[in-house]
Every structure is written in structure tokens, then in C-alpha cells.
A and B are shown apart, each in its own frame.
Chain A
Amino acid sequence: MNAHRQIVIIITLLVLTGVSMITYKHRVLGFPLFATDTETVWNIESRLEFKALGGPVKVRINLPDSVSGVEILHGSEVSSGYDSGVERDHGMDFYQWSRDDALPGQQAVFLRNEVFFREVPVVTQEKPPLPITPELNEVATQVQKDFSDANAKSGAKEKNLVLKILRELNNPASEHLGVLLRDARRRSEQLQLAIDLLAMEGIAARMVRGVLLEDRQNNRSALFMLKVWLDGQWQLFDPRESSSVAWDSFIIFQEGTTPLFEVEGGENSSLRFSVLREQRASFITAVEAARNHRSLLVDFSIYSLPVAQQGTFKLLLLMPLGALVVVILRNLVGIRTSGTFMPILITLAFLQTGLLIGLLLFIMVVGTGLIVRSYLTRLNLLLVPRIAAVLVVVIIIYGAIGIAGHKLGFEWGLSVTVFPMIILSWTIERMSILWDEEGAHEVLIQGGGSLLTASLAYALMSNQIVADSIFLYPEALLVLLAAIIAIGSYSGYRLSDLRRFEPMERY
């Protein structure tokens, strides 16, 4: 197999692999195509306070059930001294804190949930059986029969019926239900009444508790809601407002007979919720969701690293972009640079100093270095000691710029230290030789070429969208590699060839 065919095959494989991985992450894992997309994330903090009796303590908070279209992440609970984690019992998930030797007194544990919606959920799962007509006392039966007859006459639709019942429940002077409401003061009792009434109409309903998703809610207790099976799906109703509630504005923490929270070894417990709305880049939530699902592609990727190392890799992932810029400028455009990949290292320094200050510092250091180096030429030193001497001079220049800048109030002078000093020493050495042999003109061409390359690479690498996107899809590196290989086997003209062979047009 000849080299050309191998190159074509490798390029095809790389592009196919890269593009299909990107497509998979986008389509299946729900990664956004560009890192600019943002989405709403609800931060729900549950704070469970109790008075410990001393001795072993076990605390549980029931966790929201997973519903398709909703991602709920648990974690970052701040509760010192407790062992904590997600536990599963009788098919229900809950978060548990336990401790063998809690001091008596007030204690608090925190659970932080992050909730975001891929789409507005439609809850059709778990179709309920037809409700059994409840056994009630005589008064209640009579009241309900009257109520039911009245409804039959008015011919209200099922949804309106639910709303009507809720409205009646909020009205203690209700014509029909007033009698029953006298015995049902508590919200849960009222809702049970509603459920019974609906059951008589053949409508299944359940009581749920949870948190209403509204921004900047603090210190709220769990709210009761009514979940009703209507038109082939569950719908939520708010008993206070007598209105229906969309599924993306309420998170259910408790349903049916499971307790909302349990405290063993404590008393006087209370659970309070705070809700905060946050708008953030959707790729962050996508990455977290994919981690939550233990997707292989994400589990064995840089996202599985600790956050600090991810930051390092985020920078490393940008290097190939700089390399691509160098390859394009050298092999397609034909710009001459001083040292092949020196511009990338300069770019890395620019990323920390900013472009203008970086350029200024570079020119200051290299310019001063060249002056000193031209004197060293006369001293007739051997090569390695000479470069070592240049290195020392470079460090002195760093110090001078830093201190002078500080004294004059230019704090940016201190950022000179991010420049790679060995590379700068070699650059000074190489430019000095170039100056002697080819003249100042060539030094300006190569120095300017290097800075132009570094500036273009900077423009690309400092772009937040580019940085986030490549972090989001590291697979794009395969496509980048394919592009570099393709340019590496390009035997056509460079832009500079077209310029230098321009006289050939006249022949």
C-alpha cells in the first residue's frame, strides 16, 4: 500500500470516528452543538434541622423520582461528621446521613439538588387502576352524592371538576362541602377529601409533596399538590391556587405513603427548602448528566478527572489549535517564523498576559536581549556558556521589568514571568545570529512572522466559545489531526510560492 493511499485511509478514519463521536454525544447524550447555548438550572437546597438526643443518628430525605426529560443531580451536601450517600430501600431512593455519636443539641444536614429540564415532561407512566369507591361515613356519603349530582347536572368536564373541587375546598362556607371541611382543617385532610370525591367520579388522584420551582425562594416548607390522572396522563394541581401546574415548575419529593424525611435519634425536626434559579452554559449540565448516567464515552474521558486536572487539560486541548495555526501559516501561507513551535509557547504566555501587554513585554525582553547579546558576540564566548549568559540576562530583564513596572504602578509588568525564558533565550540567540548573517531585514521578517502567528493562535485559543467547544468535544482533535495530516501531504503551492514565482507569469 503506498503512502498516499494510507494517508487517505487514515484521514477518512479519523474524520469518520471524530464526527460520529461528536454526533453521538450531540444526539444521544444531549450535548449542545455550541458551547454558547445556555439553559436554566434550579438549585434546590434542602435543610433538615433536628435536635439530636445524643448517640447514634440516622437521617433520611426522600429523593425526587426520576421522570423522563428531567435531570436531577444530587450532591455537595455540607454536613460535617456524617457519612452520607444515596441509598435505595423498597424501590425508593433517598439520601441518608448517619453518625454513631452525635452530640446532643441542634443539628442540620444539607442536601443540594440540581434540576434541569431537557423538555417539558409529560408523565404518562404508571397508569393507575380505577379508584375504588371509598368507604365513608353517612354524612360524607350524602354530601358527596349531592355534590356529584350537582356536577352531573352542570355537566362539567373532568378537569373543570377537579378545579371546582379545589375551589370548594378553599371556601369554608362552601354550599356542598362546608360540613365536611369543618372536620378537615389540615391541607392533607382536605386533599384526602378531594381524592375521595374524585374517586367517586371515577378519577384517580394522589397527594404529593415537593418544591415549587420559583427563583429566590428561601426557607420554604414542602408544598402539597394533587396529582390527577386526566386524559391519559398525570396532571398536577395546586390546591391553594386552585389551578393546574406544569410539570417543569414543581419537583416531587414525596409521594404516597413514603415519608418525606425520617430522623432517628433526634426530635423537633423540620425540613426547609431554598430554590435558586441559575442560567448556565448547557454543556456543563450535559457533561454532569452524562456522568450521572455513567455513559462510557463520558466516564472514560477527561470529564472523569478531578476538576483541577480538567482545567489543565482544557489548556492542553487548545495546543493542537495553535499547532494547526502554525501548520497553516507555514505550509499553506508560507510565513517564516523563528523556531517552528516557538510561536505556540509565546501564545501560551499571551493567554495569561493578554495580547497587547504580551506583545509589548515580548518586544521589550527580546529587544533588550538582542542589544546585550550583540555585546556578548564581542566577548567571543563558546556557544553553551553564551546562551546560558543570555538566559541570565533574560532573567535580569524580567526582574527589571517587574520591579520597574511595580514602582511605576504598572502591575502588568509582573506578568512578564509567564514567558518561557529558555525559549526567549534561544529566540534571542537565533535572531542575533540571523542579524549577523542575513541582516536586520530577515530578523524583522522572522520576528514579525512569529508574532503574527502567535497573535493569530492567540485569537483562536483565547476565544471562550472555541475553548469550551473543544473541551465539550475533545473528539474534534481527531478531525484536527486529520486536517494536519492532510496539510502535511499537500504538495501544491503556498501563497508565498505564488508571490515569489510571480515573475514566471511574464515568461
Chain B
Amino acid sequence: MFGLASPLHLRRKGVVGMNKRNFIYIAQSNPRHLYPRVDDKLKTKLLCAQHDIPVPRLMGVCRVQRHIKQLPDFLADESQFCIKPAKGSGGKGILVITERQGNHFVKPSGVHVTEEEVARHVSNILSGLYSLGGKPDVALIEELVQFTSDFDGFSFEGVPDVRIIVYHGYPVMAMTRLSTHASDGKANLHQGAVGVGIDIATGRALKAVQHARPISEHPDTGRALNELVIPCWDEVLELAAKAFEMTELGYLGADIVLDRNRGPLLLELNARPGLAIQVANGRGLEPRVKLAAKQAANEQLGVKERVSYSREHIAPL
């Protein structure tokens, strides 16, 4: 009615709203002192190395403004890389370079970038333009992920990733974000990327939404979205579940990409994952979270056991 959902209906579905997410999930499951483990991507990378979690390889870190002078030499032999702020959020400030033409770098969209522009971008990162609260930051230079071809036709110009919500170690809900022409190659749902809910049990597509409205085909490529299957699904789930031990955060969003050669890689973690995943799945988070919380309180399980519990018991809810 009036373009609004009935609160009774949503409650019956167990849909979680912003207040409940902030007040119960985040505030009660995520102690604030643990936030730096996920908010600072450099810390996350170092932690991942300790816990044997595969991530895109770190090529270098630019910590102070004078490092920027050394940047052209450092990047002289590189043609594919990615520069991102350690404390950025929501994909802000990420510069992806896929090609090199002489002194120019080329972005995935084909736009040329000069060395000076790269240097300015790094300078902006260091001065805190993209960090939370404008605090000084460092810039990470990462190896570019060699994306698997499994998503061909499902994504336009961009890089699809898989977002998995992990509650106290149990994967409870998953989706993949497919970039579109409208989203300018970014996997950002606000900007028009397509969100496809993924069945925790099988890794298969459930429902797809764009701008929070259900769709069945990719708006640019026209491929039927229900044919989408995430490869190495077991590995993907285990990777996400492992992030719980590493961060100790009870309510966590793990973003995972699939590398052609190395398999699933953990791209980044989020202590405040959004709620659009519920629309993409057509399901509410609440019953799944409750079961996961109950199971977590009952027995301490290893990563593999947790994943199989999720696939068997949490996925059908």
C-alpha cells in the first residue's frame, strides 16, 4: 500500500530493519575495539596472512606523501594493479588499472590516466579524503585479481563479487553483486548494480533485484540470471566462515572474489553489512540469525562443520 510494505508482513518474514541491525546485531555482536581489524584493510591483510586466508597479493603500501615520488619507479614494470585506501568504505577511492600504454595507465572503462593523476589519487588517499572521518590514511597497492570466466555474460564491464553474511561463524545469507552499465562498472547496489541472492546450500541463484526491484535478466547482457551458479561454493563458504575466527566479529559481511588461478580470495570484510541482501534473497535474516546464534551457543564447531550446518539447516529457512 502506498508503495510501502506492511510491517506485519515484514515481521512475519523475519526481515531485519536498520534499527534492529544497528541496535541489536552490530551493537551487541561487534565490540568496537575489533572494528580496526576490518576497517583497516592493511590490518585485515596482515591478519589474513596469519590465518592462512587467501587474499589478493599486496604489492606495496604508500604510507607518507614522500613515498609518492617513488611511485612511478615502483609501478614502472606493472601494467595491472589496484590502488585502494586502507580505511575506505563502500568501495570509495579504489583505482583499478588494467593496462598500460607508454606512460599512461588505462582503467577498465578505457579512460587513460596519467602518472600525475595516479600520484594525485594516492595523495588524496593519504590525506584522508576517502577514510572514515577524514583521518589520514595509507594507500595499498594490490595485485589485480584475474577474474574467473564463470561470470561472463552475468556482469557488465565490472567485477562481480560474492557477499556472505556470517553470524557468529555461520554463513547465513549470500548474494552476488553484478555490475551494470548503470552502475558504471561498480558492484554497488545503490548505483544500479544487480544483486542476485545465492542459495547457501547450493551456490545457485535465487532471485535478482536492481534498484530494489525484482528482475530476471541482466539489463545489459540479457542473460537469464537464474542460470548463475557460483563455482567452488564450498571453498567460498569456508573462506567466509574462517573470517569469524580471524576477526571475532559476530555480525560480519565477507566480500569474496574468484580468481582464475588462485580460486576464492577474500577481498574485504565489513562490520556493518547492509540489508539489501534480504531483498535479493526474498528472505528475512532474522530466523537464520536466530538459529545460528542458538547453534553457536550450543556447541563449538570447526569451520567445515559450521559450513555444513549452514547448508543443511540454515539455508532452508
Establish whether residues A491 and B278, one from each chain, have CB atoms under 8 Å apart when the complex forms.
no
The chain A residue with its CB closest to the CB of B10 is A501
Tell me the bound Cα distance from A494 to B214 in angstroms. Answer: 22
The reply on B4 being an interface residue by CB < 8 A is: yes
- Selected contact of B19 from candidates A383, A490, A499, A502, CB within 8 Å: A490
The chain A residue with its CB closest to the CB of B28 is A3
Give the shortest distance, in Å, between A460 (CB) and chain B (any CB): 23
Task: Tell me the residues in window 459-507 of chain A with beta carbons closer than 8 Å to chain B beta carbons.
Answer: 488-507
- Selected contact of A499 from candidates B3, B13, B90, CB within 8 Å: B3
- Selected contact of A489 from candidates B23, B214, B275, B282, CB within 8 Å: B23
Give the shortest distance, in Å, between B268 (CB) and chain A (any CB): 17
- Selected contact of B20 from candidates A334, A439, A491, CB within 8 Å: A491
Task: Tell me the residues in window 1-48 of chain B with beta carbons closer than 8 Å to chain A beta carbons.
Answer: 3-7, 9-10, 13, 15, 17-20, 23-24
The reply on A382 being an interface residue by CB < 8 A is: yes
Which residues of chain A are within 8 angstroms of B218 by Cβ–Cβ distance?
A: none
Which residues of chain B are within 8 angstroms of A502 by Cβ–Cβ distance?
A: 3-5, 212
Establish whether residues B191 and A438, one from each chain, have CB atoms under 8 Å apart when the complex forms.
yes
Give the shortest distance, in Å, between A134 (CB) and chain B (any CB): 86
The reply on A380 being an interface residue by CB < 8 A is: yes
The reply on B258 being an interface residue by CB < 8 A is: no
Tell me the bound Cα distance from A442 to B284 in angstroms. Answer: 27
Give the shortest distance, in Å, between B82 (CB) and chain A (any CB): 17
Establish whether residues A497 and B17, one from each chain, have CB atoms under 8 Å apart when the complex forms.
yes
Which residues of chain A are within 8 angstroms of B159 by Cβ–Cβ distance?
A: none
- Selected contact of B23 from candidates A433, A437, A491, A505, CB within 8 Å: A491
User: Assuming A433-B129, A489-B23, is B191 touching A501 (CB within 8 A)?
Assistant: no
User: Assuming A331-B19, A492-B19, is B9 touching A505 (CB within 8 A)?
Assistant: yes
Task: Tell me the residues in window 205-240 of chain B with beta carbons closer than 8 Å to chain A beta carbons.
Answer: 207, 209, 212-214
Which residues of chain A are within 8 angstroms of B190 by Cβ–Cβ distance?
A: 438, 442
Which residues of chain A are within 8 angstroms of B20 by Cβ–Cβ distance?
A: 491-492
The reply on B123 being an interface residue by CB < 8 A is: yes
Which residues of chain B are within 8 angstroms of A437 by Cβ–Cβ distance?
A: 90, 92
Tell me the bound Cα distance from A201 to B226 in angstroms. Answer: 112
User: Assuming A503-B279, A504-B282, A507-B282, is B3 touching A493 (CB within 8 A)?
Assistant: no
Give the shortest distance, in Å, between A4 (CB) and chain B (any CB): 10
The chain A residue with its CB closest to the CB of B123 is A380
Give the shortest distance, in Å, between A373 (CB) and chain B (any CB): 12
Which residues of chain A are within 8 angstroms of B5 by Cβ–Cβ distance?
A: 497-499, 501-502, 504-505
Tell me the bound Cα distance from A418 to B129 in angstroms. Answer: 29
Number of CB contacts from chain A to chain B under 8 A: 92
Size bracket, chain B contacts: 35 or more
User: Assuming A492-B19, A502-B3, is B10 touching A497 (CB within 8 A)?
Assistant: yes
The chain B residue with its CB closest to the CB of A491 is B20
The reply on B127 being an interface residue by CB < 8 A is: yes
Establish whether residues B209 and A383, one from each chain, have CB atoms under 8 Å apart when the complex forms.
no
Which residues of chain B are within 8 angstroms of A494 by Cβ–Cβ distance?
A: 17-19
Task: Tell me the residues in window 133-167 of chain B with beta carbons closer than 8 Å to chain A beta carbons.
Answer: 134
- Contact mask for chain A residues 317-331; partner B; CB cutoff 8 A; 1 contact, 0 none: 000000000000001
Tell me the bound Cα distance from A495 to B279 in angstroms. Answer: 16
Establish whether residues A496 and B127, one from each chain, have CB atoms under 8 Å apart when the complex forms.
no
Establish whether residues A504 and B19, one from each chain, have CB atoms under 8 Å apart when the complex forms.
no
Which residues of chain B are within 8 angstroms of A493 by Cβ–Cβ distance?
A: 7, 10, 15, 17, 19
- Contact mask for chain B residues 101-145; partner A; CB cutoff 8 A; 1 contact, 0 none: 000000000000000000010011001110000100000000000
Which residues of chain B are within 8 angstroms of A380 by Cβ–Cβ distance?
A: 120, 123-124
Establish whether residues A504 and B279, one from each chain, have CB atoms under 8 Å apart when the complex forms.
yes
Establish whether residues A503 and B213, one from each chain, have CB atoms under 8 Å apart when the complex forms.
yes
Establish whether residues B127 and A382, one from each chain, have CB atoms under 8 Å apart when the complex forms.
yes
Establish whether residues A496 and B18, one from each chain, have CB atoms under 8 Å apart when the complex forms.
yes
Establish whether residues B123 and A500, one from each chain, have CB atoms under 8 Å apart when the complex forms.
no
- Contact mask for chain B residues 274-289; partner A; CB cutoff 8 A; 1 contact, 0 none: 0110110011100000
Tell me the bound Cα distance from A438 to B124 in angstroms. Answer: 17
Nearest 9 CB-CB pairings of A with B: A507-B282, A497-B17, A493-B17, A383-B127, A491-B20, A498-B4, A382-B127, A502-B5, A380-B120
6 sampled A-B residue pairs with Cβ under 8 A: A382-B127, A383-B127, A497-B18, A498-B4, A501-B278, A507-B13
Q: A497-B10, A498-B6, A501-B17 are in contact. List 20 more A-B contacts (CB 8 A).
A: A380-B120, A383-B128, A437-B92, A438-B191, A439-B191, A491-B17, A491-B24, A492-B7, A493-B17, A496-B18, A498-B5, A499-B4, A500-B279, A501-B279, A503-B209, A503-B212, A504-B5, A504-B284, A505-B6, A506-B214
